[in-house]
Structure 1
Amino acid sequence: MGSVTTTTTTNSTDVFLDLVRARRTFYPLNKKLTVPTSRIETIVSEALQHVPSSFNSQSNRVVILFGGEHDKLWDMTADVLRAIVPAEQWRPTADKMAMFRASAASILFFEDDVPVKELQKNFPAYADKFPSFAAHSTGMLQFAVWTALESEGLGANLQHYNPLIDAKVAEEWKIPATWQLTAQMVIGGRGIPVAGEKTFRPLEEKFKVFGA
């Protein structure tokens, strides 16, 4: 029988898991930020610096839009969608765009193709894997930012209007051509104090342990 090592869960680990449990999707949001914009910038930049990436490639990129720049994003998105959504179906889409615009800020997540292609060049045996590895990293970054903002009392939801808006976003904010938009996180004050109950599939369907 193998030896058993007993460890004590640290308080900081419990705090972290509490934050993971608390992270939720909030609709609607408003323009009342619970923290200064500088605090949001610090949270996002720290997460960007420290979230892991394949071979430390650091392919994640972020743009934050506050105030009028945030409003511009959702006006722009509405214009793009209006051109492709049938008129008789436009009202629900218009209401959704207005809801996002009524929030305080947007965080745009990108992946830079340059470090990904560099890895593909240097490690050809794994070339087909590196795009998915980069996607894993941006997912971790989004989760880290989302959870941290939740702990500051902010609400957030994650949207994916890429690639429909990619060209207009790149033109408006002078985004480098190698940056590929992956998601848009909408943040702001919580329009409702508590999100709805979270439901779960049985853990037994999702989790296995061997050799413990």
Structure 2
Amino acid sequence: MTELVVNALKKRRTIYALGENVKLTPEKISELIKEAIKYSPTAFNSQTVRAVILFGEKSKRVWDIVEQCLEKEVPNAEAFKKTKKKIETFRAGFGTILFFTDTAIVKNLEEKFPLYAENFYDWSEQGIGGAQQAVWVALAQENLGASLQHYNPLIDESIAKEFSIPKSWRLRAQMPFGSIESKAIEKKFILDEERVRIIK
């Protein structure tokens, strides 16, 4: 039995200490991300996943927006100082991927298949989760670190305005990525017996 896939999954970790020491070009990275999303499965082959890939100052602008939005929400200056420090690690990366769900497709499927209507949004969430993992693993295979962040819906309006996002695209997550400047901490797992049941 080949362990290539499992080993690739093990290599994917949450990396907060990101840098710009990346050998791949933005073009190569973009192609990798596009292919990973393209070949990720979605229910009814609905292809509801959308992404915006940002580099350089455009990537940093995402984290400027996050910081500006959070400053209005964080209760005090001391708490904001910690928040700002965390955001700086994302800003220091090589790029950011914004993941969206195209809700127009979801709505169309709900109307077209009323028997399954209440499931299509859940299925679109499964689809975007699969695409996020595929992209994350693909980046890890190229020795690029990444993490998955969720500052939506707080930043939705500002992000949409800044990057001319279509109205039907709903922001679901942000993935900063870059060179790995510090390894991930050791990961703890629950027992396999708690996670999986095997019935023969």
Q: TM-score range by the shorter chain?
A: over 0.9
Q: Choose which of 177, 181, 185 in structure 2 pairs with 1:191.
A: 181
Match of 2:143 in 1: 153
Structure ID, larger Rg: 1
TM-superposed CA distance for 1:65, in Å, is 0.7
Q: Given the alignment of the two structures, is residue 124 of structure 1 paired with residue 114 of structure 2, yes or no?
A: yes
Q: Distance in 2 between matches of 1:157 and 1:163?
A: 18
The answer on whether the counterparts of 1:156 and 1:185 sit within 8 Å (CA) in structure 2 is yes
TM-superposed CA distance for 1:17, in Å, is 1.2
TM-superposed CA distance for 1:102, in Å, is 1.1
TM-superposed CA distance for 1:100, in Å, is 1.2
What letter is aligned with 1:147? V
**Would you say how many aligned residue pairs link Structure 1 and Structure 2?**
199
> Identical aligned pairs, as a percentage?
40
Q: Choose which of 43, 47, 68 in structure 2 pairs with 1:79.
A: 68
Q: Distance in 2 between matches of 1:34 and 1:132?
A: 37
Gapped regions of structure 1 (runs ≥ 5): 1-8
Deviates more, 1:131-140 or 1:201-210: 201-210
CA RMSD in angstroms comes to 1.0
2:3 aligned counterpart, secondary structure: helix
Q: Choose which of 166, 172, 188 in structure 1 pairs with 2:156.
A: 166
2:99 aligned counterpart, secondary structure: strand
Match of 1:5 in 2: none
Match of 1:201 in 2: 190
Q: Distance in 2 between matches of 1:200 and 1:143?
A: 18
The answer on whether the counterparts of 2:37 and 2:134 sit within 8 Å (CA) in structure 1 is no
Gapped regions of structure 2 (runs ≥ 5): none
> What TM-score do you get using the length of structure 2 for normalisation?
0.96
Deviates more, 1:82-91 or 1:98-107: 82-91
Instruction: Deviation per CA, 1:5-25: give whole Å up to 9, x if none.
Output: xxxx2xxx4211110111111
TM-superposed CA distance for 1:169, in Å, is 0.6
Q: Given the alignment of the two structures, is residue 141 of structure 1 paired with residue 131 of structure 2, yes or no?
A: yes
The answer on whether the counterparts of 2:56 and 2:95 sit within 8 Å (CA) in structure 1 is yes
Q: Choose which of 90, 98, 105 in structure 2 pairs with 1:100.
A: 90
Q: Distance in 2 between matches of 1:76 and 1:199?
A: 33
What letter is aligned with 1:166? D
> What TM-score do you get using the length of structure 1 for normalisation?
0.91
Q: Choose which of 58, 62, 81 in structure 2 pairs with 1:69.
A: 58
What letter is aligned with 2:179? G
Q: Given the alignment of the two structures, is residue 49 of structure 1 paired with residue 38 of structure 2, yes or no?
A: yes
Deviates more, 1:62-71 or 1:13-22: 13-22
TM-superposed CA distance for 1:87, in Å, is 3.1
Q: Choose which of 2, 5, 30 in structure 1 pairs with 2:19.
A: 30
Give the ranges of 4+ consecutive aligned residues of structure 1 lying more than 3 Å apart after TM superposition.
none
What letter is aligned with 1:99? T
